[in-house]
């Protein structure tokens, strides 16, 4: 797909990767309907791209607000590119996370994405060529301590992307699954950033991830995994998970230290 031919519905547009995607899409000539609960982070882009970019406020966990998004997309004249980038994360051991937080994370990362995609499919099917892009994570392929709930949501999103791609194989709609590695966004807590620094984990800038997503869209890819050696770890984990088990077991004391309440208070 060429950006100049794209009419885009982009969720999570006020987040780090979403905001970078909104800018890259508009700069490339696409028309973009952005979705977020808060408009403030998008004000600059809305002023810079008044003819290319519009915004609708919605909490995608709510069915009636998802309908507002679909109606806005219809008023745009339909879309041929749906980018599901909305999501939340929490770096903590499972026992440290409240029941409501688990429900909230799964509601947005999984249920809202599936429901919005389902609602948008009739519109996407009307296009000569259309694409659903699901922004997942390397943690959708590797279960990592401290991210049990987030991993559960991204494993689900990866499975959804694979199954939906196969469901739509005889249609004009394709599905692209994107798996970024750690990215410098506000989604990461100070404790998570400190852990990454301690373990010397590579981190990408949102603009880099956005450009990689754009390139994958233009090349009509079905999957894209970002980061080295993370891509290698994904392959090893699928074939020899015991090796990754042992490697992460050595990191567990460090992870427990960074998820401890004492450490959280020191970095709050």
Q: Which two tokens stand for residue 115?
A: 């429901």
How far apart are alpha carbons 193 and 258 in whole angstroms? 10
Residues 26-50: tens digit of each pLDDT = 999 999 999 999 999 999 999 999 9
214 has a pLDDT exceeding 80: yes
- Nearest-angstrom CA–CA distance, 37 and 57: 5
Burial 228-251 (b: 16+ CB within 10 A, else e): eebbebbebbeeeeeebeeebeee
Q: What is the pLDDT of residues 162-191, one digit of tens each?
A: 999 999 999 999 999 999 998 988 777 788
Considering the segment(s) 3-266 as one domain, its CATH architecture is 3-Layer(aba) Sandwich (3.40)
Q: How confident is the model over 65-115, as pLDDT tens digits?
A: 999 999 999 999 999 999 999 999 999 999 999 999 999 999 999 999 999
Coil, helix or strand for 183?
strand
Task: Look at the pTM and tell me if it is higher than 0.75.
Answer: yes
Provide the pLDDT for residue 263.
Answer: 55
């Amino acid at each position: 797909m060429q950006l100049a031919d794209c009419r885009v519905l982009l969720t999570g547009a006020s987040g780090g990767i979403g905001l970078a995607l909104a800018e890259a899409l508009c700069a490339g000539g696409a028309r973009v309907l952005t979705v977020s609960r808060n408009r403030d982070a998008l004000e600059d882009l809305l002023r810079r791209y008044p003819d290319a970019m519009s915004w609708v406020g919605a909490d995608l966990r709510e069915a009636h607000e998802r309908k507002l998004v679909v109606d806005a997309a219809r008023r745009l004249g339909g879309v041929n590119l749906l980018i599901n980038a909305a999501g939340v994360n929490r770096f903590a051991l499972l026992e440290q996370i409240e029941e409501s937080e688990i429900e909230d994370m799964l509601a947005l990362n999984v249920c809202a994405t599936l429901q919005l995609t389902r609602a948008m499919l009739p519109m996407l099917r009307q296009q000569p060529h259309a694409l659903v892009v699901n922004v997942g994570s390397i943690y959708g392929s590797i279960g990592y301590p401290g991210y049990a709930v987030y991993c559960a949501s991204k494993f689900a999103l990866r499975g959804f992307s694979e199954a939906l791609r196969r469901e739509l194989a005889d249609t004009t709609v394709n599905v692209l699954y994107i798996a970024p590695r750690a990215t410098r966004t506000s989604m990461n807590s100070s404790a998570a950033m400190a852990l990454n620094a301690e373990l010397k984990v590579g981190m990408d800038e949102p603009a880099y991830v956005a450009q990689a997503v754009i390139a994958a869209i233009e090349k009509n890819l079905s999957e894209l995994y970002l980061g080295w050696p993370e891509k290698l770890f994904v392959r090893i984990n699928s074939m020899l998970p015991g090796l990754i088990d042992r490697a992460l077991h050595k990191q567990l004391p460090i992870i427990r230290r960074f998820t401890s309440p004492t450490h959280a208070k020191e970095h709050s």
